[in-house]
A and B are shown apart, each in its own frame.
Chain A
Amino acid sequence: MEQTTLGKVEVSLTAIAHLVSQAVVECYGVVGMANKDLASGIVQILQPASHPRGVDIEIEDDCITIDLYVVIEYGTRIATVARNVQDVVKYTVEKALGVQVVAVNVHVQDLRISID
């Protein structure tokens, strides 16, 4: 992705997905990540090790579009939590990679009720 005098530096999509999922799980209100594969129609809550599978990355002309599939805590303000996730992900990726994030789409796949 970046050409230096010594050679090429490439960051794989998997690496970016890891970076993003790390940032997302620190976001307040996000209590899980879900499988992005909707073909089955079944939302699958991911184990922590598989969190990057809840992240979908697209790169075009050095601009990144990110889709996230998350589970949010029931009883929080979902719109605000999603907005915070967008801010944090954009900031984290741009800071780490120096590449512009054009969109962070947050897909709330499920809510978790941890207290009644």
Chain B
Amino acid sequence: MTDERTRSKEALDISPRENPDAPILLCDGRGLKRLIRFGLAWLERHQEAINALNVYPVPDGDTGTNMLLTMQSAYQEIHDSPEEEVGVIAQKVAHGALMGARGNSGVILSQIFRGFARSLEKVQAFDTVQFAAALREAATTAYKGVIKPVEGTILTVARELAEASVTAAASSQDLRYVLEHVVHAAQESVARTPTLLPVLAEAGVVDAGGQGLLVILEGMLRYAKGEPVSIDSELAAAVDLHALHPEGEEGYGYDIQFIVHGEGLQVEEIRETIASMGDCALVVGDSRAVKVHVHSPEPGTPINYGTSLGSLSRVIVENMQEQYQDFILSKAQRPTVPAEPLSGIGTVVVAPGPGLTKVFESLGASAVVSGGQTMNPSTESILNAIESIASDEVIVLPNNKNIVLAAQQAQTLSAKRVEVVRTVTVPQGISALLSLNYQADLATNARVMTEAAKVVETVEITQAIRSVQIDGVSVEEGEFIGLVNGKLRVRGDSPNQTTISALRETDAKAYEIITVYYGESISPEEAEQLADQIEKQFPEQEVEVVDGGQPHYYYILSVE
């Protein structure tokens, strides 16, 4: 047993994707962190479907959102923690969930984590027996928080899955096996909720909170099995919610919701009529007010029907094609359709400004994260971009020295194989991206790209924000300054004149192409003037002018 536990540490360190069949005997803090992240990501995907199930205790359709916000707050506490002790991570998760608890389901979820963490106190890494004990404690703690526990809710699901985990842990030391049984038990438990809570049966739904807990666990199981949680069409089609199929097979029509107020409304009759008008019909309420939700290619039909019954309120009509696209796009930080990767290797690039973003996209970057000087993107946004692309192997180009760290953190957090090529300027990033070889493997590409980044010289023109003396150059606040390869080299009275002096500091005459990316505060005419001046000074070199649209830097030039 002891031997196996020592060995099992390796089992977790190996990304499950590489060896999905090896048993997972122990889970340490890093393992739990990934489990939580996968649970969160999977919940995020099912948020709307869970919202649509919400009829108890108040049918306000926010259970999915509340659970998601609670999970996000929990993950926020651990996302940059390098902690390896699982007890400490569990404690942080519980704290984050408590602080961010939203809604009834969020409070219950926070209590579940609280019990889970309490059971794992001082535990370095849990095995199956400890995992089951923690799930038991989680359920017990959750039940303590209410005078009259209502069965057929998330509480029931938490209890029944914990019971299943104890049985499973008694027969296996493989955490994935136990988690599989837990998810299976949770599925059955959720399916039973309408038999326990009449209000669910009336509405023809399963309990939203229970479904939310199930979805979180399903996400965790996906991690254990080495399956991705990022968006792809195959997965979207496989989404299975007991009552609803939000990504319906018949393409994307409109999502229509409204509440009818009237006298003597016949809920059954309304439900049947609405169901005949489209998919995913959900009709709940009583004789005075009925909430209607349906997906239909014809938004007018159900709304007209509604107005024939009484007065309507909270009418929402949304184009689901747009929703679906927004949903995918929101993963990539900015509106770009994730490009089909040309090779197995995807690239995530950080770029300031719309023009430079376009440049990177045209060069084949899989995802562009907006960011640069004084607007560092978060580790999370880089991580989201990494997860959003279809490749399992990803190269990240931070393109700024202040972003390298965030990129490296994203690297450690991702379950994918990620290499960070430490580009510190935009031209270095462009040069690196151009040298990506689709035939070569990840490590080779990382090396080649690092080399490529070195052979380009970068000139950046900006304004001094304070008076300073660096590297033998003294500048006054507000003066224009030229940085060559990141070092302050020249000062000047205008952006164009400073650019020329800075270029003289490079080996420009030995290179072939000078590319000028002009920033948001420079007009195309000014940029053309500069290009003319450069051509006079460097007649042998070819000059290209590109609208970079970057803030802070008047010009960024690459010399190669």
The answer to whether B147 touches A87 (Cβ under 8 A) is no
Does B144 have its Cβ within 8 Å of any Cβ on chain A? yes
Q: In residues 81-103 of chain A, which contact B (Cβ within 8 Å)?
A: 81, 84, 87-88, 91, 95, 98
Q: What per-residue 1/0 map shows which CB atoms of A56-85 lie under 8 Å from chain B?
A: 000000000000000001011100110010
**In the complex, A107 Cα to B102 Cα: how many Å?**
20
Choose among A29, A31, A88, A91 the residue with the greatest number of B CB atoms under 10 Å from its CB: A29
Q: How large is the interface on A (under 10, 10 to 19, 20 to 34, 35 or more residues)?
A: 20 to 34
B311 to chain A, nearest CB (A): 16
A31 to chain B, nearest CB (A): 6
The answer to whether A77 touches B57 (Cβ under 8 A) is no
Which residue of chain A is the closest to B118 with respect to CB atoms? A115
Q: What per-residue 1/0 map shows which CB atoms of B101-131 lie under 8 Å from chain A?
A: 1111011101100110010000000000000
Which residue of chain A is the closest to B153 with respect to CB atoms? A28
**B108 interface neighbour in A28, A31, A98, Cβ under 8 Å:** A28
**B146 interface neighbour in A31, A80, A95, Cβ under 8 Å:** A31
B122 to chain A, nearest CB (A): 15
Choose among A26, A27, A80, A88 the residue with the greatest number of B CB atoms under 10 Å from its CB: A80
Does A25 have its Cβ within 8 Å of any Cβ on chain B? yes
**In the complex, A81 Cα to B106 Cα: how many Å?**
10
**In the complex, A30 Cα to B108 Cα: how many Å?**
12
The answer to whether B103 touches A73 (Cβ under 8 A) is no
Does A52 have its Cβ within 8 Å of any Cβ on chain B? no
Does A3 have its Cβ within 8 Å of any Cβ on chain B? no
**In the complex, A95 Cα to B59 Cα: how many Å?**
11
The answer to whether A28 touches B144 (Cβ under 8 A) is no
**In the complex, A73 Cα to B145 Cα: how many Å?**
6
B235 to chain A, nearest CB (A): 32
B87 to chain A, nearest CB (A): 16
The answer to whether A75 touches B58 (Cβ under 8 A) is no
Does B60 have its Cβ within 8 Å of any Cβ on chain A? yes
With known contacts A88-B57, A98-B288, A77–B98 Cβ distance under 8 A: yes
**In the complex, A23 Cα to B101 Cα: how many Å?**
21
**A-chain residues with CB within 8 Å of residue B147 when the two chains form the complex:** 25-26, 30-32, 48
**B-chain residues with CB within 8 Å of residue A87 when the two chains form the complex:** 57-58, 60
**B-chain residues with CB within 8 Å of residue A29 when the two chains form the complex:** 107, 145-146
Q: In residues 24-40 of chain A, which contact B (Cβ within 8 Å)?
A: 25-32
The answer to whether A75 touches B107 (Cβ under 8 A) is no
Interface size on B, residues (CB 8 A): 26
A68 to chain B, nearest CB (A): 13
The answer to whether B98 touches A27 (Cβ under 8 A) is no
The answer to whether B286 touches A95 (Cβ under 8 A) is yes
Does A4 have its Cβ within 8 Å of any Cβ on chain B? no
Does A114 have its Cβ within 8 Å of any Cβ on chain B? yes
Does B150 have its Cβ within 8 Å of any Cβ on chain A? yes
With known contacts A75-B98, A95-B286, A115–B144 Cβ distance under 8 A: yes
Does B373 have its Cβ within 8 Å of any Cβ on chain A? no
Which residue of chain B is the closest to A77 with respect to CB atoms? B101
**A-chain residues with CB within 8 Å of residue B108 when the two chains form the complex:** 28
**B-chain residues with CB within 8 Å of residue A77 when the two chains form the complex:** 98-99, 101, 107, 110
The answer to whether B58 touches A91 (Cβ under 8 A) is yes
Does B141 have its Cβ within 8 Å of any Cβ on chain A? yes
**In the complex, A76 Cα to B115 Cα: how many Å?**
12
The answer to whether A27 touches B141 (Cβ under 8 A) is no
Which residue of chain B is the closest to A32 with respect to CB atoms? B147
Does B148 have its Cβ within 8 Å of any Cβ on chain A? yes
The answer to whether B110 touches A76 (Cβ under 8 A) is yes
With known contacts A77-B98, A87-B60, A98-B288, A28–B107 Cβ distance under 8 A: yes
B476 to chain A, nearest CB (A): 52
Q: In residues 470-493 of chain B, which contact A (Cβ within 8 Å)?
A: none
Choose among A27, A28, A114 the residue with the greatest number of B CB atoms under 10 Å from its CB: A28
Q: What per-residue 1/0 map shows which CB atoms of B354-387 lie under 8 Å from chain A?
A: 0000000000000000000000000000000000
Q: Beyond the given A28-B104, A28-B146, could you list 16 further A-B residue pairs with CB under 8 A, ordered by the A residue number? A: A26-B57, A26-B146, A26-B148, A28-B107, A31-B145, A31-B146, A73-B111, A75-B114, A77-B101, A80-B101, A80-B102, A80-B106, A84-B103, A88-B104, A115-B141, A115-B144
Q: List 17 A-B contacts (CB under 8 A).
A: A23-B57, A25-B146, A25-B148, A28-B145, A28-B146, A29-B146, A31-B147, A73-B144, A75-B98, A75-B114, A77-B98, A80-B101, A84-B103, A87-B57, A87-B58, A91-B58, A114-B144
4 nearest A-B residue pairs (beta carbon): A25-B147, A77-B101, A91-B58, A73-B145
